[in-house]
Amino acid sequence: DAGVIQSPRHEVTEMGQEVTLRCKPISGHNSLFWYRQTMMRGLELLIYFNNNVPIDDSGMPEDRFSAKMPNASFSTLKIQPSEPRDSAVYFCASSFSGGRTDTQYFGPGTRLTVL
């Protein structure tokens, strides 16, 4: 089992550029979560999907952020245009919702730096 896969692991971009973060959840999982972690705000839930449908996007900070899950094995988080305050580590996690534990498994994260 490869676990949750995120790409890229590191991204450095300039303000105003579009950034796309990618996530491949664990096969068989039906829930997917995007988190953002900064020193100031800690670990924040941005959005989560169940069976590829967005359930709660109340954590998405602005309209510049969007997330999609076109199928059960792939999700993207897009920032357009990016700003320096978007610099953070972005984590994707997946789980099997409906089981006894709903344990979330996290990917290694994408460290985003916006200059």
Binding of other proteins at residue 25 (CB under 8 A)? no
CA quadruple 13, 19, 20, 21: dihedral, nearest 10: 50
Based on CB atoms, which residue is closest to other proteins, 65 or 107?
A: 107
Of the candidates 17, 28, 21, the residue with the CA atom closest to the CA atom of residue 94 = 28
Using rule CB under 8 A, residue 72 touches other proteins: no
The dihedral region occupied by 3, where left means phi > 0, alpha psi between -120 and 50, and beta the remainder, is: left
Closest distance between other proteins and the C-beta of residue 56, in Å?
7
Q: Which is nearer to other proteins, 74 or 96 (CB)?
A: 96
Identity of the residue, 1 or 100, whose beta carbon is nearer to other proteins in the bound complex: 100
CB 62, min distance to other proteins, A: 20
